[in-house]
Amino acid sequence: MRILPLFVLLGSLFLSAQAQGRDYIYVVGSSTVYPFTTLVAERFAKSTRFPAPKVESTGTGGGMKLFCEGIGVQHPDIENASRRIKPSEFETCQRNGVKEIVEIKIGYDGIVLAHSRQSPPWKNLALRQVWLALAKQVPDPKGGDKLIPNPYRKWRDIDPNLPDLAIKVYGPPPTSGTRDAFAELALEGGCSNFPWIKALKEKDEARFKEICHTVREDGAYIEAGENDTLIVRKLEADPSALGVFGYSFQEQNSDLIAGAPIEGIEPSFENIAAGAYPISRPLYIYAKKAHVGVIPGLPEFLDEYTSEKAWGEEGYLADKGLIPLPKKERETYRKTAKELTPLKSL
């Protein structure tokens, strides 16, 4: 009589474990990397015996939180990231048992300030002008090393050569890797034009970042969530506005939106690949080595992602707008993916 309850208990535990299992790869993270990973997932499902991976667009920051919560089938296997993992995120992962993280740089992207094709084309934007338009506090136009609340309402207030249009920019929220990269590349690049602010980077980096990264909250910058398609609709409805996108998304919607030149350089495939365009950044995926052998198909999926037919110069991801890595970098990261070499530190 004692055996039966034990047998029933063990059986229920076995069924519960089966119910909690997962036979497909689960990916979260960047909305910029999302279309690339989705395309790889489609090709992977068609060419192998494995189920199609589930890919969710959560934003890089939101995805990192999910990815770093722990090991096990209830947690994601792969994180898409439009910036490199932060030291604080890496430490959270380690603390939660996500010890062996495989970092794979998949290519490059640019960040564009795009406008509707219904509006006149923008001739040029300098990073200094972009920062002065969007910063919460800016140097007093009268001079001196003093910050004041942003007084600029129109682009022409910043420079008479700019359009006589209200400053209105739709962009991603703080959880987005695109927002992080935009702050580091565009906003820092702009505020560093002021020598006294630039000097703060060595003396007081926290204060420097506070000045350079803090965006105004008076309606000139409008957070539009992680949905880039929503920003396109906003630009169609208001051709006087600008939107912050990854180049790949702008390229996929080039019939509706165009990117403004930055520092005189057009946002193009060639200019980003050559490193000439000033607001460009690397894109990544991160995989949990501990999930290999538990979740079917992980090594095979990484093999597909890092194949020349996918991320090579003539690969299907380049057709989608991804700027390929140089050949030597591709070889390095393909080896990392093959050998599942974990990231040791940041």
pLDDT of residue 20: 59
Q: How confident is the model at residue 321 (pLDDT cuts 50, 70, 90)?
A: confident
What secondary structure does DSSP assign to 86-144, as a single string?
Answer: PHHHHHHHHHTT---EEEEEEEEEEEEEEEETTSPPP--B-HHHHHHHHBSEEE-TT-S
Q: Using N-to-C axis directions, what is the helix angle for 298-305 and 327-339, rounded to 10°? A: 180
Confirm whether 23-109+281-339 and 110-280 share one CATH topology: yes
Structure confidence by residue, pLDDT tens digits, 128-183: 999 999 999 999 998 888 999 999 999 999 999 999 999 999 998 888 888 888 99
Report in angstroms the alpha-carbon separations of 67 from 77, 80, 229, 281.
7, 10, 25, 22
For the 110-280 domain, the top CATH level (class) is alpha beta
pLDDT, averaged across the chain = 91
Provide mean pLDDT across the span 42-66.
96
Structure confidence by residue, pLDDT tens digits, 2-46: 444 444 433 333 333 334 579 999 999 998 899 999 999 999 999
Q: How confident is the model at residue 333 (pLDDT cuts 50, 70, 90)?
A: very high
Percentage of residues in the chain with pLDDT exceeding 70?
94
Provide mean pLDDT across the span 250-254.
89
Spans of all domains in the chain: 23-109+281-339, 110-280
**Domain 23-109+281-339 adopts which CATH fold?**
D-Maltodextrin-Binding Protein; domain 2 (3.40.190)
- The pTM (predicted TM-score) of the whole model is 0.78
Res 233 pLDDT > 80? yes
